[in-house]
Structure formats: C-alpha cells, structure tokens
Chain A
Amino acid sequence: MVALQEFFLNLLATLRDVLPIAAIIFGFQFLVIRRPIPNFRKVLIGFALVIVGLALFLQGLQQALFPLGKLMADQLTAPSFIYGTAQQLVEQVHWADYYWVYLFAAAIGFSTTIAEPSLLAVAIKARDVSGGVITIWGLRIAVALGVAIGIALGTFRIVTGTPLHYYIITGYIVVIIQTFYAPRMIIPLAYDSGGVTTSTVTVPLVAALGLGLAATVPDRSPLIDGFGLIAFASLFPIMTVMGYAQLGQWLRYRQQCKLKQKVEAHVNT
C-alpha cells in the first residue's frame, strides 16, 4: 500500500515536470504553428509512456538503490572504516588512505551513467544521425568512463581540500586543446555529453558521496567542499567522448597505413 502511494506521488511529480513542457509545446503548436500534430494519438501514448516509465524508474531507484547507495557512501567515508578504529581523532589525513572511496566513486559514477535515461536518449539520436558510425554503447561507455574519472578525481579533491576552480580551469584548457585535434563531427556531441550525464540516477548518489566525505574528513565543510562533484562529472565526459572519436580516427588511419603497406609489398613482389 505504501509502495502504491509512493508510486502515485512519483507519478504526480513527473506529471508536474512534464506539464510546463507540454503546455509550451502544445501552446505553440496550436496558437503559432496552427497545424495539427501528425499522429497525435501516437504522440500522446508516447508522452504517457514517458511519464509512467519515469515514475516507475524513480520509484524503483528510491526503493532499491538510493537508500543502499547512500548508506554505502556513508560507511565507506566513515573514519572507522578507513582507519580500522572507531577513533575519530585523526590529526592528519593522508589522501592514499581513501583508496576504497576513489574506487567506489569511479564505479558508482560509471554504472549510474550507463543507466542514465537522458544519456540513452542522446545516444539513440546520435546513432540515428550519424548513420550508425557512433554506436549507442560506444557513446555510453565513453561518457561513463569520463564520469568515473571525474568523480574519482572529485573525491580526491575533497580529501585533499584543493580549490575546485584549479581543476576545472585545467580541464577547460585540455578540452580546448583537444577540440583542435578531434574530428569536427564529434565536437558538438562531446560538448553536449557534459550536460546529459548528470540527472536522475547520478546526482542523488554522487551528492550523498560528496556530502558524506566532506562531513567526515577533518577541516572540510560539507557546505563548501561537498559541492563540485557534479561539475567534475560534467567536464570529463567531454574529454573522453572526444578521445573516443580520436581513438576511432587513429585506428582507421593505422588500418589504412597497413593496407597501403600490404598493397605496396604486393606490387613490389
């Protein structure tokens, strides 16, 4: 009964999210464009599926994954786990003691990104538009790797207490350099993938990890140091997606070179 009630609440919340969007779309469609929407019935069914699907998705996450994930984030960042004693008094933190935290950060970043619905949406579009050159799984794995690296580095930053903007500005410089060498086709998609990685699944778990960590590491304030993980998670996928395209380009180039050598060897003999 409680689960049903929760599902209903989630459904209402999703409806509230969709309502302004639907109002804008249908308002402009009827008042400005003044043309009927083709396949209107099918579109309506599609909207209903999206709403019910998201509500179910959220409900499942809240019931199964979030409580456990948050609990684990708390336990892994607790001093009693890291130092093996219940003693809270640790004078000096050593960043290397937090290796399980970094590993957990990377693993949870990777796996939640794979399940992120908005990334799936962009990956489907990218596959269709690129005529299959970009595969759904290729893009998702590239983005997920970026999030994994980003969040692991972000937890390292919280442990060491170094300023956030140094990392972000360095990241920007790397992105700009990569932009000049990456295939032109991938650049807009790579920039977009920074924004799509962090929504329904990733944000709650990652926020819990950041706040838990900032609360337990001495001299860190959760209010100031707890933020920033999302920023890392939106920056690094830009690099890995461009890297994914660069790797593909390089592999093709090498294949062509080999082919050329083979042909030349054949001609010479």
Chain B
Amino acid sequence: MPFLESAKDLAPIVAVIAFFQLVVLQQSLPDLGNLLTGLLMVVVGLALFARGLEMGLFPVGENMAYDFARKGSVLWLMLFSFALGFGTTIAEPALIAVAKEAATVAAAGGIISETEEARAQYATGLRITVAVSVGIAIVIGVIRILKGWPIHYLIMAGYLAVVVVTGFAPVDIIGIAYDSGGVTTSTITVPLVTALGVGLASSIKGRNPMVDGFGLIAFASLTPMIFVMLYGIWVH
C-alpha cells in the first residue's frame, strides 16, 4: 500500500508534464522507457523514505527531546540545538549551490575581485554565516518552547529585522538572501527538527505540542535572510 500512496503523490507532476509537453508545446515524450523507470524509482524511494521516517528519524528526535527534558540540563540542550542547526546546514548541497551563485554575482558586481580564490573565500564565508544563523535560529526556537512564548511576536520581530536590513543591503544580494531562507532546511533536517520540537513540547508540563512544538523550521528559514544581507553589507 505505501507504494500506491507514493504513486498518488507523484501523479500531479506526471499530469502537468504530460499536459504541457503534449498539448501546449505539442511535442512527444522523449525516451519513454527511461521516463517510466525514473518514475518508478521516485515512487519506491518516496515510500521507503516515509517508512524510514517513522522507524528512525521521528523516534530518535523525540527520544532525545524526552531525555534532555528529563536530564534538565538547559546548557546541553542549547549546545545540541546549535550543533544540529549548524551541522545540518553547513553541508547542505542547496546552500553550497546558492553560495557559489552569490559569489558569482558579487564578482560580477565588482564587490570582490574576479579571481577563483576571492570567490571561494566569499562563498565559504557565506556558508558559515548561514550555518551559524540556522544554529542560532534553532536555539531561539528551543528557548521559545521552554518558555512558552507565543511564536508570532518573535516572527514579527524577525520580519521587521528583514525589512530594516533590506533597506541597507546592496541590491544585488537581496534576491539571493530572500531565497536562502527557503533552501537551508533539507529533507533530513526537517523531520528531525520537527520531532525535536514536538517531543520537547510534549515532555514539558504546560506546553501543547501543537501550539508550542512547531515553529523551529520557521526560525530556521527566517534568520538566514537577515544574516546573508548583513554579510553582504559587511563585505561591501
């Protein structure tokens, strides 16, 4: 049954591509055999992933949350949160790609010199900046769960920071900065961080997992925008 479920997840993409290819562009589907085996792999992969989530990633994230709550050591929990945010982001392939592109933009805009070395340095600096910002985001999010603060004040403060920093940031970096918020949270980070949040909220008395448990990802996609623009201002 899980395979059927995954096939249903994939049906919209197949329909969209078929419609645009056959009706709008009026071309035939190239290499049908390759296409079908590829789709089969996607379906099987998605089903295995979903099964693995419930067997491995979710229980581990929740268990750690319970254990930290029982141990009562806030400092270790903070350290773990930062390490999780930083460690999962620094190696993120999407971030590596974005950092490289940002370096190209900066070089074209004359902000850094047009050498391989300067670009690599810029890209590495950007990656570390974003990874630190995600680490800080998870720490802030965990503190929020511990204290039970309502999320929207923090998010609004974050929005305000984005707007203010945008006013000072070099124009070239704004698009990349705004995009970086979306690309930092990978397919493995999201389930783990969600399980951690929900686990923490359900093991602390007086917290509701629905109201307090979610929200970590929201912080992790907001802080990179601010930090990337700050990085742009600083390099400029």
Interface on A for B, CB 8 Å cutoff?
Answer: 3, 13, 16-18, 20-21, 23-25, 28-29, 32-33, 35, 37-39, 42-65, 68-69, 72, 75-76, 81, 100, 104, 107-108, 110-112, 114-115, 117-118, 120-122, 124-126, 129-130, 164-165, 168-169, 172, 175-176, 179, 184-185, 187-189, 191-192, 194-201, 203, 223-231, 233-234
The residue in chain A whose Cβ has the minimal distance to the Cβ of B154 is: A191
Q: In the complex, what distance in Å separates the CA atom of A234 from the CA atom of B155?
A: 14
**Nearest 3 CB-CB pairs, A to B?**
A46-B56, A64-B38, A49-B52
Specify which chain A residues have a CB less than 8 angstroms from the CB of B40 in the assembled complex: 60
Instruction: Give how many B residues have a beta carbon under 8 Å from the other chain's beta carbons.
Output: 104
Known contacts: A17-B91, A68-B17, A76-B25. The answer to whether A195 contacts B214 by CB under 8 A is: no
- B87 and A21 within 8 A (CB): yes
Interface on B for A, CB 8 Å cutoff?
Answer: 9-10, 12-13, 15-17, 19-21, 24-25, 29-30, 34-60, 63-64, 67-68, 71, 73, 76, 80, 83-84, 87-88, 90-94, 101, 104-105, 108, 151-152, 155-156, 159, 162-163, 166, 171-172, 174-176, 178-179, 181-192, 194-195, 198, 209-218, 220-221
- B194 and A122 within 8 A (CB): yes
- A125 and B56 within 8 A (CB): no
CB of B37 to closest CB in A, whole Å: 7
- A188 and B214 within 8 A (CB): yes
Specify which chain A residues have a CB less than 8 angstroms from the CB of B25 in the assembled complex: 72, 75-76, 81
Q: In the complex, what distance in Å separates the CA atom of A197 from the CA atom of B21?
A: 25
CB of B211 to closest CB in A, whole Å: 6
For the residues of B in contact with A, the DSSP-based class is helix
8 sampled A-B residue pairs with Cβ under 8 A: A18-B188, A21-B84, A24-B84, A24-B88, A121-B53, A125-B198, A191-B155, A225-B175
Known contacts: A129-B209, A176-B156, A227-B178. The answer to whether A196 contacts B190 by CB under 8 A is: yes
- A52 and B48 within 8 A (CB): yes
- Not counting A38-B59, A172-B159, a sample of 13 additional A-B residue pairs whose C-beta atoms are within 8 angstroms of each other reads A17-B188, A20-B90, A29-B67, A59-B38, A107-B19, A110-B12, A120-B50, A126-B214, A168-B162, A168-B178, A187-B151, A194-B218, A223-B101
Q: In the complex, what distance in Å separates the CA atom of A226 from the CA atom of B102?
A: 12
- A60 and B17 within 8 A (CB): no
Q: In the complex, what distance in Å separates the CA atom of A268 from the CA atom of B191?
A: 54
Specify which chain B residues have a CB less than 8 angstroms from the CB of A172 in the assembled complex: 159, 162-163
- B12 and A33 within 8 A (CB): no
- B218 and A37 within 8 A (CB): no
Q: In the complex, what distance in Å separates the CA atom of A263 from the CA atom of B18?
A: 52
- B59 and A43 within 8 A (CB): yes
Question: Which residue of the partner chain, among A111, A120, A130, contacts B210 with CB atoms under 8 Å?
Answer: A130
CB of B95 to closest CB in A, whole Å: 11
Specify which chain B residues have a CB less than 8 angstroms from the CB of A225 in the assembled complex: 175
The residue in chain A whose Cβ has the minimal distance to the Cβ of B178 is: A231
Q: In the complex, what distance in Å separates the CA atom of A165 from the CA atom of B46?
A: 35
- B52 and A121 within 8 A (CB): no
Known contacts: A28-B64, A81-B25, A234-B221. The answer to whether A227 contacts B175 by CB under 8 A is: yes
Specify which chain A residues have a CB less than 8 angstroms from the CB of B43 in the assembled complex: 60
- B42 and A76 within 8 A (CB): no
- A57 and B41 within 8 A (CB): yes
Q: In the complex, what distance in Å separates the CA atom of A37 from the CA atom of B59?
A: 9
CB of B15 to closest CB in A, whole Å: 7
CB of A116 to closest CB in B, whole Å: 8
Question: Which residue of the partner chain, among A13, A33, A48, contacts B67 with CB atoms under 8 Å?
Answer: A33
- A38 and B152 within 8 A (CB): no
Question: Which residue of the partner chain, among B17, B49, B179, B209, contacts A57 with CB atoms under 8 Å?
Answer: B49
Q: In the complex, what distance in Å separates the CA atom of A39 from the CA atom of B59?
A: 9
- B60 and A195 within 8 A (CB): no
CB of B14 to closest CB in A, whole Å: 8
Known contacts: A23-B87, A53-B49, A60-B39. The answer to whether A37 contacts B60 by CB under 8 A is: yes
Q: In the complex, what distance in Å separates the CA atom of A117 from the CA atom of B108?
A: 36
- B55 and A43 within 8 A (CB): yes
